[in-house]
């Protein structure tokens, strides 16, 4: 729980401005807008730090996206530049090519293809901007802790604003910023599996956030599951290992 949300928001904005001064002076921030709390709050923080004219939101439905109106509501509320890129045909084409090559498309493979195509799309949009762009990761600390993201998909980016904050803290920030409650407190889902995040992982974010903050979890089965997910998915957060020769 954040004790001083206003101070935290000010510090975030200062950090964002410093990042762009050092890693892309004058560039715009490019991020995917899913219509969920994380992308909404990240976009709002970027607009506050850089000015809305330097924030570019990209909506990327995979064919038909039932909640695309929420994504549109975010960019309209913030008044940011935005693009809609439907990745449906690209997703179908890649799956078809994989099948024709003899590769097996399991359920998880199918779920993870769209996020990776979306990240490719974000970098294409960023590179195509006249002023240049930097791609912003929108994952939060709770998701990162259990690896609830797609490697080189939504887990990628040039910088991450929310990676140091649990879901509870992200909600605090969203409420402080005065964002629409229906977007900040929208039931989180990956938009791919047809399930809510909490139903999919098997525990609530409240339980996870408490465990991250205190190490306490009353349910030993859930505690073991969180620990297992954390260890198995550390490869998504760690810097890519490389072999260093002992001599040259």
Mean pLDDT value of segment 73-100: 97
Say how many Å lie between the first and final Cα of the chain, rounded: 51
pLDDT at 195: 75
Residue 188: pLDDT band (50, 70, 90) is confident
pLDDT at 162: 98
Task: Record the tokens describing residue 92, joined without a space.
Answer: 């179908």
Smallest Cα–Cα separation from 86: which of 128, 123, 118?
118
Give the model confidence (pLDDT) of 95-108 as tens digits.
999 999 999 999 99
pLDDT at 192: 60
All structural domains of the chain: 5-236 (3.40.50.620)
Compute CA 174 distance to the chain's CA centroid, rounded to the nearest angstrom. Answer: 15
Q: At 134, which helix (H) or strand (E)?
A: strand 133-137
- CA torsion through residues 42, 188, 169, 108, sign: negative
Residue 203: pLDDT band (50, 70, 90) is very high
pLDDT at 193: 62
Mean pLDDT value of segment 168-172: 97
Q: Is residue 160 classed as helix, strand or coil in its secondary structure? A: strand
pLDDT at 200: 87
Query: Is residue 135 a contact partner of residue 177, using CB atoms and an 8 Å limit?
Result: no
Query: Is residue 61 a contact partner of residue 68, using CB atoms and an 8 Å limit?
Result: yes
Max Cα-Cα span within the chain: 59
pLDDT at 191: 64
Give the model confidence (pLDDT) of 143-169 as tens digits.
999 999 999 999 999 999 999 999 999
Give the model confidence (pLDDT) of 88-143 as tens digits.
999 999 999 999 999 999 999 999 999 999 999 999 999 999 999 999 999 999 99
Q: Is the pTM of this model over 0.85?
A: yes
C-alpha span between 39 and 16 (Å, rounded): 15
């Amino acid at each position: 729980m954040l004790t001083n949300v206003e101070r935290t928001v000010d510090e975030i904005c200062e950090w964002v401005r410093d990042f762009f001064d050092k890693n892309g002076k004058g560039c715009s921030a490019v991020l995917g807008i899913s219509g969920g709390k994380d992308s909404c709050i990240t976009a709002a923080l970027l607009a506050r730090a850089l000015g809305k004219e330097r924030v570019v939101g990209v909506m990327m439905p995979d064919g038909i996206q039932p909640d695309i109106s929420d994504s549109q509501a975010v960019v309209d509320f913030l008044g940011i530049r935005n693009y809609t890129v439907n990745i449906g045909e690209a997703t179908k084409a890649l799956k078809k090519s994989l099948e024709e090559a003899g590769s097996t498309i399991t359920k998880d493979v199918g779920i993870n293809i769209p996020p990776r195509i979306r990240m490719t799309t974000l970098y294409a949009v960023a590179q195509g901007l006249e002023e240049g762009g930097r791609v912003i990761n929108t994952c939060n600390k709770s998701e990162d802790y259990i690896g609830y993201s797609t490697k080189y998909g939504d887990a990628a980016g040039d910088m991450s604003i929310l990676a140091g904050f649990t879901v509870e803290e992200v909600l605090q920030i969203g409420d402080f910023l005065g964002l629409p409650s229906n977007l900040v407190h929208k039931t989180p889902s990956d938009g791919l599996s047809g399930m809510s995040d909490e139903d999919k992982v098997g525990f609530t974010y409240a339980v996870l956030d408490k465990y991250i903050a205190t190490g306490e979890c009353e349910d030993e089965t859930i505690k073991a599951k969180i620990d297992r997910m954390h260890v198995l998915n550390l490869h998504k957060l760690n810097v890519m290992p490389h072999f260093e020769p002992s001599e040259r």
